Chains A and B, each alone.
Chain A
């Protein structure tokens, strides 16, 4: 300090040329010292961090991804299960967890075929159905599972007080729709426990796919005395649930940890090989999950992104794929005040859309396939696959023709320029990328000004419901294994028809598909619906989603499925290497 002062004094004197050199030398020395200090500091920090991470990881490696001796597998969740009350559940993470701890009348087996669950045998007629429950089915407290438990759960689900989004899935039951509208008491539901083990169901209309409906998660049983004893806290915590499935939740630290352990009261416990399925990590970050897998902390990484594929290949991990069954498309707003209500504008959009380019050059994930129809390729038709029996009308991208339609649209709308079009999208990286691709594509080909409205999932849904969009990137996953799960989506009365598309012929075909029990008639109706949707450009299909995942080779027998809880670890087993 003193030194600086004195040298400063001399610097004030006129001889600047002589003092400039020592000055810059001081500055250089300062910079050099700073650089050295920064480097040393950085190295020390990194060393400390790696030491700290060694400390923390060594405390958890004792568990590892797979523990053969205790029959434990460790996995990660992308989010905390938001809702484990089966009557209110809507999301796939909760669906996956609940699929392990609950069992409906029927369930999907490892080959994705319907298998008996709590029901031992059943009889489905045109006016109703009867299920006979197995005697040995037990709740996790040892009490038997009875027909009353199903009736109570179903009545709760259609009760307007529950406000279940899936209440409509019971509308095939007699009086269900009226109960949900509050016109009838919940006891009027067409489901009755004849005895503890016999369940009688009355239909509102004939239904050809009832066995597939019954496997859906909203149909899981709930025991009345337990539900009431929780006093509104049912499914709020691990102790607030009663389980009748192969596993039970023993630990549920919200936002941090979920642990499933084998349910010793499960009737088919001999078929279950794993003892513990542990989810100690909850992260939506794909890179974090990959790092956990590399460190041997988790056994499965689901949904690899395009950006991590090179890393996965370099690590030489075996990659698997499956289709998650969902179809993604442009939901179009057909309300009159939106320009997209004009057929020619929609046609122009359809003609410049190139799903092949989107999938192969933008999304770049194997397993995605270019979309051609609302009905995905995996759907079963009458004898074989639906899409082989009723191929979708092909649309070849044609920019010149699209421009003609655009001019026509401008004339019809009476404008020189189409007003900016709002494209509603999720705020996920993948959806943003697609939205920006379409923004450029539609600008280049049609000169359309696209405004991207990125919203979090919940907000996007709210905006879609309110009709605040022109186009929306939209996906739909199947609820049950029948083309109707997609087919009635654009019926004018469907609440998920957010663009308010209304077409009398399509409505009529949906009625046929819902009410007929003849598969040939139904499939023909779906075929016609498929045609109408493309010809009238009700939607523009983009892609069918595939999922890439990596799985520890020692873990076998994990069920991946389009409909039902996915992934299904309940029948998985470990092979020692």
Chain B
């Protein structure tokens, strides 16, 4: 039985099923974009920045719909108001000019104490009886005093601090060179705060005497019904009576130097900043992509030529061209400089993107899969659209997010130096410029636009940073 023939029959074989799957994925597949988004979400700074950017967009687009205040409306009764609670004013009669009080000038007492020869008035003479003629309001403060013998006139001072103990009389609000005039009406920028008024007599040479009399005056905030109606604070002047209280328009973030609402101005200002910040980079990045990919793809002498031209454009001074465009487009005085700014940005800022895209395209062109694709008969358009652009997308997006803050900053800078928007259109830059003047006394006028510029620029930068990390395949899994 040792060499018994052994034959295999068909029954011995079994068809093996074709195993197509060589590998199993135990988890769902993650695409490039999904992975990028996952990693962006893990980056807390970038995520917060993203929320800030969304909030800014909401502030700009929806804000003016919710806070319906005209950014150009001037509330001259509430100039340079700090952020705070709403103010209340009492309705009064309309302002009527006041002739003032007159008195017969008194002759100098003969040989009074301290009287210099010929001067007529003692050098320490002080007026007496300084009084309010009627209750002091923000409409007018009317003061009167008793004539000083020998005085040729009076000098009036006003202080917002107590004149004592050192006799700092404050601002010289009026000089009265008529000795018969013993009254004064103050209408200068009156606020509902206490004032210290002082009167000093002038001697024959017009020099001030050493003595003075001071009166503390409490002013109350008032407005006439007609004025309130003109300003649109009440609907009908006849509906309110003298003595009624009305609430003045509320400015949550205060007002600027012409009484314009800061919140509303910030919202409208953001429009300009964000509009140019988004539109300009979009435009010049597109130009850069087309230019850069053309140069990179065609290569050779064309590439050299195109890139030398890009180098030339980089060397052009931006500010100069901005001014040239302004003139070339016939942008007259008082018209917005936003359009020439946009044109100048698009025409001058694309080379950076073009260079980046060209570099990427040059690199990708040599990759194996491109060669394979070409061997399989892929056409140029297919190569560019299917391989080149998707693979440079990360770089492009990052350029875009970094371009946004830099353009916003450029806009703010140009508006700051007065090259951007035309008044009364607000922009964060022009608001900062205006706020700079009152930095010490009314810091909110500078701080708010400055905070908005800084936060916006920072948010876009951090977001761009996060995007770069998320989109860069080499950075994958490194953080």
Contacts and interface: CB of A to CB of B under 8 A. Distances in A.
17 contacts: A11-B477, A12-B477, A14-B27, A20-B42, A27-B43, A27-B45, A307-B442, A311-B440, A314-B161, A318-B168, A360-B189, A361-B76, A366-B174, A432-B423, A433-B258, A437-B258, A454-B418
A111 B205 contact: yes
Interface stretch (B112-120, B234-242, B328-336, B385-393): B328-336
B454 to A, nearest CB: 13
A432 B257 CA distance: 11
Interface in B428-464: 437-438, 440-442
Given A313-B159, A317-B168, A452-B333, 5 more contacts: A318-B169, A319-B172, A357-B76, A364-B188, A452-B422
A271 interface: no
B76 A362 contact: yes
A524 interface: no
Contacts of B72: 440, 443
Please list the 8 inter-chain residue pairs (A to B) with the smallest Cβ-Cβ separation, ordered nearest first.
Answer: A451-B334, A453-B333, A316-B168, A12-B477, A364-B189, A361-B76, A8-B478, A321-B172
Interface string A75-115: 00000000000000000000000000000000000010000
A427 interface: yes
A366 B334 contact: no
Contacts of B188: 359-360, 364, 366
B335 A307 contact: no
Chain B CB count within 10 A is highest, among A12, A361, A435, for A361
Contact of A367 (B79, B172, B332): B172
Contacts of A111: 205
Contacts of B476: 12
A320 B27 CA distance: 83
Query: Interface residue tally of chain A, by bracket?
Result: 35 or more
A313 B333 contact: no
B170 A453 contact: no
B44 A27 contact: yes
A422 B334 CA distance: 8
Contacts of B257: 307, 433
A503 B15 CA distance: 118
Chain A CB count within 10 A is highest, among B169, B175, B333, for B333
Contact of A366 (B43, B172, B335, B437): B172
Interface string B209-246: 00000000000000000000010000000000000000
Contact of A436 (B44, B169, B189, B423): B423
B161 A316 contact: yes
Contacts of A423: 334
Interface string A419-455: 0101110010100110111011101000000111111
B305 interface: no
Contact of B440 (A20, A23, A287): A287
A54 interface: no
Contacts of B187: 356, 360
Contacts of A11: 477, 479
Contact of A451 (B159, B333, B438): B333
A548 interface: yes
A343 to B, nearest CB: 25
Contacts of A24: 44
Interface residues of B, number: 48
A309 to B, nearest CB: 6
B437 A8 contact: no
Chain B CB count within 10 A is highest, among A27, A313, A366, for A366
B166 interface: yes
Interface string B160-191: 11000010111111110000000000011100
B479 A8 contact: yes
Contact of B171 (A14, A319, A436, A454): A319
B477 A8 contact: yes
Interface in A294-318: 305-311, 313-314, 316-318
B399 interface: no
Nearest to A8: B478
Contacts of A437: 74, 258
A452 B76 contact: no
Given A360-B189, A440-B74, A427 B258 contact: no
Interface in A17-53: 20, 23-24, 27, 31
Interface of A: 4-5, 8-9, 11-12, 14, 20, 23-24, 27, 31, 111, 287, 305-311, 313-314, 316-321, 356-357, 359-362, 364, 366-367, 399, 420, 422-424, 427, 429, 432-433, 435-437, 439-441, 443, 450-455, 548
A554 B189 CA distance: 31
B172 A320 contact: yes
A361 B189 contact: yes
Nearest to A396: B97
A319 to B, nearest CB: 5
A462 to B, nearest CB: 13
A198 to B, nearest CB: 36
B333 A548 contact: no
Nearest to B208: A320
Nearest to B166: A316
A432 B434 CA distance: 10
A12 B42 CA distance: 13
A555 to B, nearest CB: 15
Given A8-B478, A305-B437, A440-B74, A422 B333 contact: yes
B258 A440 contact: yes
Contacts of A429: 437
Given A8-B478, A23-B479, A450-B334, A307 B441 contact: yes
Contacts of B424: 436, 439-440
Contacts of B335: 451
A312 B170 CA distance: 8
A110 B335 CA distance: 49
A23 B42 contact: yes
A313 B170 contact: yes
A560 to B, nearest CB: 11
A5 B478 CA distance: 7
Interface in B28-57: 42-45
A309 B171 contact: yes
A362 B258 contact: yes
B437 A451 contact: no
A361 B170 CA distance: 19
A8 B475 CA distance: 10
A493 to B, nearest CB: 29
Contacts of B159: 313
B73 interface: yes
Contacts of B334: 420, 422-423, 450-453
Contacts of B173: 366
A567 B33 CA distance: 72
B44 A307 contact: no
B479 A308 contact: no
Contacts of A452: 333-334, 422-423
Interface string B56-77: 0000000000000000111011
A129 to B, nearest CB: 31
Contacts of A308: 440-441
A287 B438 CA distance: 10
B423 A439 contact: yes
Chain B CB count within 10 A is highest, among A367, A423, A455, for A367
Nearest to B169: A318
A305 B407 CA distance: 34
Contacts of B422: 451-452
A307 B446 CA distance: 13
Contact of B438 (A23, A307, A366, A399): A307
Contacts of A287: 440
A31 B418 CA distance: 36
B116 to A, nearest CB: 16
B140 to A, nearest CB: 9
A361 B79 contact: yes
B233 to A, nearest CB: 14
A356 B170 CA distance: 22
A14 B27 CA distance: 10
